[in-house]
Structure 1
Amino acid sequence: MAKTIMLQGTSSHVGKSIITTALCRIFLQDGQRVVPFKAQNMALNSYVTKTGGEMGRAQVAQAEAAGLEPVVEMNPVLLKPTGNSCSQVVLMGKPIGNMTAKEYHTGYSLKALGVIKECLDHLDSEFDVIVIEGAGSPAEVNLKANDIVNMHIAKMLTAPVLLIADIDRGGALASVVGTLELLDPDERDLVKGIIINKFRGDIDLLKPALEFLEEKTGKPVVGVVPHLDQLGIDDEDSVSLDDKQIMSVRELEIVVIRTPKISNFTDFAAFASEIDVNVRYIKQGESIGKPDLILLPGSKNTIEDLLYIRQQGYEEQILELVNSGTPLIGICGGYQMLGKKIADPEHTESNLDSIAGIGLLDIATTFTPSKVTHQVTAICNDNGFLGVKFSCDHLTGYEIHMGRTEFLENLQHAFTITSRSDQPLTSVDGVVRSDGLVMGTYIHGIFDNDEYRRNLLNALRIRKGLAPIESVNDTHTRKENSYNRLADTVRNSLNMKLIYTLLGSK
């Protein structure tokens, strides 16, 4: 039988996902068979498993930290907001429909408990330790009756809970005391300790506050984790984009249009690790400027995000920049936006029957209720993007989209897919405009392929009159180093002896 420990927070974005990731790597380093779990996740950053199931990106990072292949049992319920207090509900990796918040919380959430219990039973039989992440705050009194992710899970498993507060945002002590006060007595008893996260400054100056907190709550402070910059670990949701800042002037600037329903922005994380690249996310009201490359990201609501781009004047800026020679790449929803037309006859995403696209590629997309979710392998075609031959083979990535795209002309294609979900095939993907300036693709994660990414960046360098860089940034090694760095910092910050006592395993 697996031991369990649960991380809950005083609010969203206090660091539950990161501390869970750290504990997964710490337990792995200590020889434990450890697995992450989050019953219900709400996020637009998702991932496709080898079997074609969709799950939250945070649990993928946690699985990697635990040395595991991600599987949907780690995140059985995924909610993907679509707008107007509505989300697409994904159960065991497959979408089952869109629901309003009221429909989900009052009519469906508790029905998913049986599936959640089955997943936990399966993990219990396979692993030594289950590290469980909660969501938001356990003290949301309006949602507690239908909670399937916080105290309901803790009570189901009698799991010891560590409560995390973010001191960087202010009010950490009050948030801890207030959260505990709003819990029922049996729930409060399950909280075995407090973690103060994202601390900057002199720990000696904080000690009186920690002593007060322990005396006031009767709960030990398990540790104080410092604020960690540039973790190099995939983020869960777009709130984290507010923390991303340009740290120095570099030779290449890549801009990402940050739309309201941006999804899978982890597609661009690998660029930020390169020594010659600044990645800038364009928020409402900011100018695109004169970058070396524009990226249109994926979207959970392509039509809504296209309207945003149009209304904010970004479409006009994009057209002017492309016409003057700035290259542009669209991924998934961004790819669909670049076409002539997007049709939604069954109102899968919006109330509009159709909308004109930006018109830079000769394609048209029609939305259907069924979703395509596959891991893929591909080769790069001799497509002339940026006027350069990209001879990259053995590319990997994943597809996750609801639209079906029609090619209106005899076009140059960006990639040839050689397998989907481990099934061999030959299928074209994406489009490269004849002048080499505009490209679109459905393949998420394409820039995580080190050789392809460096070839693309070197093509941008040559356009600027800069010498290419020959070294290749190893994404796998970089991630492993990031997980180890995180684990070392958290191990040194927490009372691991107490945590192992709570687990009852050491």
Structure 2
Amino acid sequence: MTEAISNHTNKTISTRPQTIMLMGTSSHVGKSILATALCRIFHQQGRRVVPFKAQNMALNSYVTKDGLEMGRAQVAQAEAAGLAPHVDMNPVLLKPTGNSCSQVIVDGKPIGNLSAREYHKGKSRQLFGHVTAALARLSAAYDTIVIEGAGSPAEINLKDDDIVNMRVAKYLQAPVLLIADIDRGGSLASLVGTLELLDEGERALVKGLIINKFRGDVTLMDTAVDFLEKKTGKPVLGIVPYIEKMGIDDEDSVSLADKEREQEKEGPKDLTLAVIETPKISNFTDFEALAEEPDVEIAYVKTAEELRALKPDAILLPGSKNTTEDLLHLRKEGIETAIADFVNAGTPLIGICGGYQMLGEKIADPHHTESGHDEVAGLGYLPMVTTFEEEKRTVQVTADCPGLEFLDGVLLGKGMPGYEIHMGRTEFTAPVRHPFHIVRQGDARVNLWDGALREDGRVFGTYLHGVFDHDGFRRQFLNVLRHQKGLDLLPIQRNRRREKEQAYDHLAGVVKGALDMKQLAKIMDDAAAAAAEAGSAAGATAGAGSTPEADA
């Protein structure tokens, strides 16, 4: 496939793969999930399909094989498309740090922290060249691109500096599907209102409407569909049902409340694990595999009162984008004291990444990488001090667990894949046992040790994201907790890798059954034909003596 992209960011691609872009009337309407579904459907059709989102805002990120950072939504979409994740799928990532400020990650590497005003009123437009460069590389390698927007394309205060919604659609002349979440209510008004706020050229790019997360008898929506099509002049491609327990990783912590509601419907479980939901919680997907186990309830707790009322079998401290501020939050809200009371009574405590750093004696931030504090006292469970550095460590790893003496059991694991993503360097103030042996970083063989275990086996921490994704290690961990409660031990219940593939197939089947796929194919075919015709016309004009500068 040949590819021609102008260096000028206001020109369009003249030859390119087929595209389809998903935008929403607001955040959390299901754009990411529907993009994942289309990636799987096109992959099943034998297309060389790739996901793309120009700019993502999320604390739940991922590290690629080459040690670069990207949003997890595009990771799930890549998996659905049968691909290894790559930062070209998400060239710009914003990770909120607090006080209307975000760490800006471009092509997988941090370039600094910017306020919302600094980013939207200066930096974002400068980064559009990175977006078009990523699109050029993807266009040269794939025949179909499934593009996800962000938030709403009708946010008037942000449109001039937008690089993720209509600027991408116009650049590619990509057909757009506009999605509304009927589960929230007001879906008809949000679709009509969003279209009304778009300019004429933007409205013309919207080729269809989708109503998502519908519960009940879909025939009751017939009059609504008729109204929408007459009012907007846009076809309704389908009404997608609400899908319970999809088994697909989420990117946004907004989804945590939905997950807890789903668990409540299932009734009480044998084990209850408390995840401390701090204001800047990140990489909460570390606990997705635990939540999928049939004997486990995962509860995300925000207050000391919630934690005390829960009486959990174990407490999990997750990663954080602002570890020192989240640690001070635990202290201020009395959660630190509640955790200590449980640990002193025998409840195990496990920290991952930022949560691991909190377990130590002190966190130092001499360069003010995350906050204005020079140092903050840790929770004091492990003999270690963490110092934040200016350079972030991002690397995929493979680790073994040669014998973690947890409570009255021993946890073992071999060839456990995971990744590290942190700013801190941890040093130990006393001898300590390390639970994980890192045997590979990227493609290189190494001999390193990670994490720390308290002498009584009740507290441990690690920098490794994904340790609970290992089926054997996860079940051993849960069985030790079951033994503590006098419950029978269970064999391995889940094969997470196989179940994720099944989840992608199930999602694709539901969406394919709900959407008019013939109409979607025609929309994509017509857009590709129009682009080819426009490219031919542009070529003829260039041959008549125009210059790139004139065309720009």
For this structure pair, what is the TM-score category when the shorter chain's length is used for normalisation?
over 0.9
Q: 1:415 aligns with which of 422, 436, 440?
A: 436
How far off is 1:270 after superposition?
A: 0.3
Q: Does structure 1 conserve the Cα–Cα contact (< 8 Å) formed by 2:56 and 2:93?
A: yes
Over alpha carbons, which structure has the higher Rg? Answer: 2
Match of 1:304 in 2: 325
Does structure 1 residue 61 correspond to structure 2 residue 82? no
Question: How many angstroms apart in 2 are the aligned matches of 1:234 and 1:304?
Answer: 26
Question: How many angstroms apart in 1 are the aligned matches of 2:127 and 2:178?
Answer: 25
Does structure 1 residue 276 correspond to structure 2 residue 295? yes
How far off is 1:132 after superposition?
A: 0.1
Question: How many angstroms apart in 1 are the aligned matches of 2:206 and 2:413?
Answer: 51
Deviations 1:104-162 (A, max 9, x none): 11111111111111111111111111000000000011111111000000000000000
Match of 1:250 in 2: 269
Q: Which sits farther off after the overlay, 377-386 or 480-489? A: 377-386
Does structure 1 residue 400 correspond to structure 2 residue 421? yes
Using the size of structure 1 for normalisation, the TM-score is: 0.98
Match of 2:475 in 1: 454
Q: Does structure 1 conserve the Cα–Cα contact (< 8 Å) formed by 2:401 and 2:412?
A: yes
Question: How many angstroms apart in 2 are the aligned matches of 1:109 and 1:497?
Answer: 37
Q: 2:449 aligns with which of 414, 428, 451?
A: 428
How far off is 1:391 after superposition?
A: 2.5
Query: Residue 411 of structure 2: SS of its match in structure 1?
Result: coil
Q: Which runs of 4+ in 1 moved over 3 A?
A: none
Match of 2:87 in 1: 72
Match of 1:103 in 2: 118
Amino acid in structure 2 at the alignment position of 1:380: C
Does structure 1 residue 161 correspond to structure 2 residue 176? yes
Q: Does structure 2 conserve the Cα–Cα contact (< 8 Å) formed by 1:381 and 1:413?
A: no
Q: Which runs of 5+ in 2 are unaligned?
A: 1-15, 530-552
Spell out the pairing of 1:10-21 with structure 2 (5 A cutoff). Answer: 10-21=25-36
Amino acid in structure 2 at the alignment position of 1:21: T
Does structure 1 residue 24 correspond to structure 2 residue 39? yes
Query: Residue 351 of structure 2: SS of its match in structure 1?
Result: strand
Question: How many angstroms apart in 2 are the aligned matches of 1:153 and 1:115?
Answer: 12
Query: Residue 244 of structure 1: SS of its match in structure 2?
Result: helix
Amino acid in structure 1 at the alignment position of 2:401: C
Q: 1:226 aligns with which of 225, 236, 241?
A: 241
Match of 1:188 in 2: 203
Amino acid in structure 2 at the alignment position of 1:253: T
Q: 2:159 aligns with which of 124, 128, 144?
A: 144
Question: How many angstroms apart in 1 are the aligned matches of 2:324 and 2:403?
Answer: 31
Query: Residue 287 of structure 1: SS of its match in structure 2?
Result: helix
Query: Residue 143 of structure 1: SS of its match in structure 2?
Result: helix
Q: Which sits farther off after the overlay, 470-479 or 254-263? A: 470-479
Q: Does structure 2 conserve the Cα–Cα contact (< 8 Å) formed by 1:5 and 1:160?
A: yes
Q: Does structure 1 conserve the Cα–Cα contact (< 8 Å) formed by 2:304 and 2:338?
A: no
Q: 1:475 aligns with which of 478, 490, 496?
A: 496
Match of 2:545 in 1: none
Q: Which sits farther off after the overlay, 240-249 or 336-345? A: 240-249
Does structure 1 residue 119 correspond to structure 2 residue 119? no
Match of 2:535 in 1: none
Q: Percent identity?
A: 61
Query: Residue 479 of structure 2: SS of its match in structure 1?
Result: helix
Amino acid in structure 2 at the alignment position of 1:450: D
Question: How many angstroms apart in 2 are the aligned matches of 1:391 and 1:355?
Answer: 34
Question: How many angstroms apart in 2 are the aligned matches of 1:474 and 1:126?
Answer: 32
Aligned length in residues = 506
Match of 1:494 in 2: 515
Q: Does structure 2 conserve the Cα–Cα contact (< 8 Å) formed by 1:40 and 1:78?
A: yes
Match of 1:262 in 2: 281
Amino acid in structure 1 at the alignment position of 2:268: V
Question: How many angstroms apart in 2 are the aligned matches of 1:44 and 1:359?
Answer: 26
Amino acid in structure 2 at the alignment position of 1:95: P
Question: How many angstroms apart in 1 are the aligned matches of 2:444 and 2:197?
Answer: 52
Q: Does structure 2 conserve the Cα–Cα contact (< 8 Å) formed by 1:262 and 1:300?
A: yes
Q: Does structure 2 conserve the Cα–Cα contact (< 8 Å) formed by 1:14 and 1:197?
A: yes
Amino acid in structure 1 at the alignment position of 2:280: K
Amino acid in structure 2 at the alignment position of 1:254: L
Match of 1:290 in 2: 311
Q: Which runs of 5+ in 1 are unaligned?
A: none
How far off is 1:471 after superposition?
A: 2.8
How far off is 1:472 after superposition?
A: 4.0
Question: How many angstroms apart in 2 are the aligned matches of 1:287 and 1:176?
Answer: 38
Q: Does structure 2 conserve the Cα–Cα contact (< 8 Å) formed by 1:451 and 1:472?
A: no
Q: Does structure 2 conserve the Cα–Cα contact (< 8 Å) formed by 1:193 and 1:222?
A: yes
Match of 1:82 in 2: 97
Q: 2:405 aligns with which of 384, 397, 402?
A: 384
Q: Does structure 2 conserve the Cα–Cα contact (< 8 Å) formed by 1:180 and 1:188?
A: yes
Question: How many angstroms apart in 2 are the aligned matches of 1:166 and 1:35?
Answer: 25
Deviations 1:451-492 (A, max 9, x none): 111111111111111121113411111101111111000000
Amino acid in structure 1 at the alignment position of 2:269: R
Report the aligned-residue RMSD.
1.1
Match of 1:329 in 2: 350
Match of 1:46 in 2: 61
Deviations 1:148-206 (A, max 9, x none): 00000000000000000001101111111111011110000000000000111222222
Match of 1:4 in 2: 19
Q: 2:226 aligns with which of 211, 230, 243?
A: 211
Q: 1:314 aligns with which of 331, 335, 357?
A: 335
